[in-house]
Amino acid sequence: MENYSHFIFARALHIAAIVFWIGGVAFVTTVLIPALKNIPEANDRLELFEKLEGKFGFQAKITTLITGLSGYYLLNYLDAWDRLLHLHFWWMHLMIFVWLVFTLVLFVLEPLFLHQWFRKQALKDSDSAFAWLHRMHVVLLSLSILAVLGAVAGSHGFSFQLM
């Protein structure tokens, strides 16, 4: 029974971390970036973005880390690794893919070069840089929402057969 309590806690923690992470991505995509694009002064736009993004970046790193660790625990506890061999569990593949993309961006690409590259692009052509940033966030948010919808439906038994 104690192990089952660990499972319940891990699942709750997994979902809470995803709510904070993807909820934050939704805020950045649908509120923050569009609002920033309305700031006329390019330097003010970039400065505010870096200030706010830095705060959310820390939250995103913590929540993606919690999501990955709890997800690994859940897969192990359920001994569900074989589900990754079946297209029927496409939503698991998508969840892992989305997690990998965000983890790669947050922990590898952004610290190594992406942050500096974006700053340089924003100083050169702010409108174009923020339009690109917004498009990337829309794509990632769309994939994230699809993964969440698929995971909720799939974990409750919903399935559709591909022809």
Q: Tell me: the pLDDT tens digits for 7-32?
A: 999 999 999 999 999 999 999 999 99
pTM of the model: 0.91
Question: Which residues of the chain, if any, have pLDDT below 70?
Answer: 1-2, 160-163
pLDDT value of residue 88: 87
Q: What is the dihedral of CA 56, 102, 151, 94, to 10 degrees?
A: 160
Q: Output the pLDDT for position 159.
A: 75
Residue 79 DSSP code: T
What is the reported pLDDT for 156?
A: 85
Alpha carbons 100 and 136: distance in angstroms, whole number: 15
